[in-house]
């Protein structure tokens, strides 16, 4: 099991009045990518679409 935190970015949703800078599909990209990591993938880190972020 791998556990990571993911930052999808400023995404257009009803929650922010659709003022985000990216689509839901774009925001979901990092979530889906991290959900599909293998057993040798990272764990205990924080990521956005660009990669690993500092805590």
Regarding predicted confidence, which is higher, 45 or 55?
45
Reported confidence tier of residue 55, pLDDT bands at 50, 70, 90: confident
Distance CA 13, CA 10 (A): 9
- How do residues 1-47 score in pLDDT, each as one tens digit? 899 999 999 999 999 999 999 999 999 999 999 999 999 999 999 99
What integer pLDDT is reported at residue 16 of this predicted model? 97
Strands 5-6 and 51-53: unpaired
Q: Which of helix, strand or coil describes residue 5? A: strand
Q: Are 30 and 7 in contact (CB under 8 A)?
A: yes
**Which sign does the torsion angle of CA 34, 39, 44, 45 carry?**
negative
């Amino acid at each position: 099991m791998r556990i990571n935190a993911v930052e999808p970015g400023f995404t257009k949703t009803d929650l922010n009045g659709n003022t985000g800078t990216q689509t839901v599909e774009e925001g979901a990209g990092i979530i889906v990518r991290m959900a599909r990591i293998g057993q040798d993938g990272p764990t205990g880190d924080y990521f956005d679409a660009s990669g690993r972020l500092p805590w």
